Amino acid sequence: MKVHCDIRFTNSTQGAYLSGQQLTGHVQIKLTEPKKFNEITLRIVGYSNVQWSQKRGQGRRRRTVYYTAKRDHLSSMKVLVGSQANGHTTELPAGEHIYEFACELPAHLPTSFEGSYGHCRYTAQVVMDRPWKFNLTYKVGFTVVQPRDLNLHAPSIRLPTRMEDARAFCCGFWRTKPLYVRVTVPFTGYVPGQAIPLTIVLNNQSARLIEGVNMKLLQEITYHAEYPSSRTRREVHTIVKHIGDGVAGEAQKQYEQRLVVPTVIPTCGETNLISVAYRLHITVHVQGCGSDPVLEIPLTIGTIPLMFQEPVATTVTLPAETSVAEAGFNFGNASGPLPSTSGLVREQTLPPEYLPPPTYEEAMNAAAVVITDDTDTNAIGTKPYVPLYPSYNFNDIQWPPLPPTTSQPPLPPKHGCGSGQSCPTDCKCACASGGCKEKSGGCCGK
């Protein structure tokens, strides 16, 4: 190849930027012999594009409808080599030629994304206009991330969230005792690299066997088409999955699990053609017929984690841990409010100024995409492109501090009496707060 071209970003070795930052770099052109050019330009563009097809109609009227939409976000051009004043071509001598450039990225740019039915993509392309020949092109992609500071969101994402379910199962004319499920997370805002602490309580009063608890972090992508009519298409991906142990019939269990958020695109796109949302999805698999309890908790994935400004030296005395038998459920009744994180302080937790800086990692399960298209005639090269998203390393610290635990109302009793034992069936006894009490006769407790 007699012409070699390369684009390098000087203020980001990985080519990843936050919207609102300045992008700088240089174009390197190497020639093995003198070449004439009408013009050499650098074009920096960003756009979102969605497209999919669906079959419509029946029989002879059956047809394929293509739903599309495109939205431009960024367009900048710089002339690196122009024609001479008299309109003649410019001849570059053999050797290396360096051209610097800079571009201000608007603050409203949406985050880069590559999906099944669309993408939000940013590229820098060199176009070499040659006299009486096809243009030569060289293109590279770079990543733009729209900052999402979790500390600027509604205060509700700092508060613990609890989801509960009570389920009874029917077998013919028989109805089992209920299964109670409770899932709690200490807050609902996280960043990639951070662990989501889950607390799951199972109180299985039925005789059914709980085969396992399926915990997933789901990513829901919504594509918005505008032509020939407004239409949306959704796809859901499981990005983290864990299967917890089951519970035998008439048994209780409480366990904790941590799901680490992988390197994924932050929650985004409320006003863009592509939107991404996240939620926890908990399924309790129960043996036999009947529907399995399903609980979901929406989450927000950001780029800056939640922070607490309290000094690290103060210590908070936490309530004693509650056992499974003491943890409670309240269905339909207003229980006390979930604990607030205001005023929370924990020992051995680093203050905000020691927050580890993020690194930019390749998107989870992402494959390099081809960013050239039909307009790139005589492309002399390109680089494989994969979006990069910020991720944190929280291996050595707990960030942010977990909220203190609080005692919950007691669980529904395992049997008919508060003592945990059922009354003898052949005696005249009744249930009371202390267990079996005599109605008549003297057989209770024997």
pLDDT at position 311 over 50? no
Strand partners, 204: 179, 251
Work out the pLDDT band at 341, boundaries 50, 70, 90.
very low
* Residue of 232, 238, 231, 304 lying closest to 267 (CA atoms): 304
**Site of tokens 């930052």:** 21
List the end-to-end C-alpha distance of the chain, in Å, as a whole number. 98
Would you give the DSSP letter of residue 385?
B
> Does the fold of domain 152-301 match that of domain 3-56+64-147+356-391?
yes
Structure confidence by residue, pLDDT tens digits, 355-381 = 778 889 999 888 888 888 777 777 887
Return d(Cα 143, Cα 111) in angstroms, integer. 8
The pLDDT, as a whole number, for residue 296 is 96
Residue type, 107: A
Tokens of 184: 């709690």
Say whether domain 152-301 belongs to CATH 2.60.40.640. Answer: yes
Domain ranges of the chain: 3-56+64-147+356-391, 152-301
Strand partners, 64: 55
**Site of tokens 């497209």:** 51
Under DSSP, is residue 60 helix (H, G, I), strand (E, B) or coil? helix
H or E element in which residue 261 lies: none
The lowest-confidence range among 116-130, 169-183, 342-356 is: 342-356
Return d(Cα 272, Cα 90) in angstroms, integer. 42
Mean pLDDT of 245-274: 90
The pLDDT, as a whole number, for residue 167 is 84
Tokens of 294: 């399903």
Would you give the DSSP letter of residue 61?
G
Work out the pLDDT band at 441, boundaries 50, 70, 90.
very low
Under DSSP, is residue 157 helix (H, G, I), strand (E, B) or coil? helix
CATH topology of domain 3-56+64-147+356-391: Immunoglobulin-like (2.60.40)
Work out the pLDDT band at 246, boundaries 50, 70, 90.
confident
Residue 164 or residue 337, greater confidence: 164
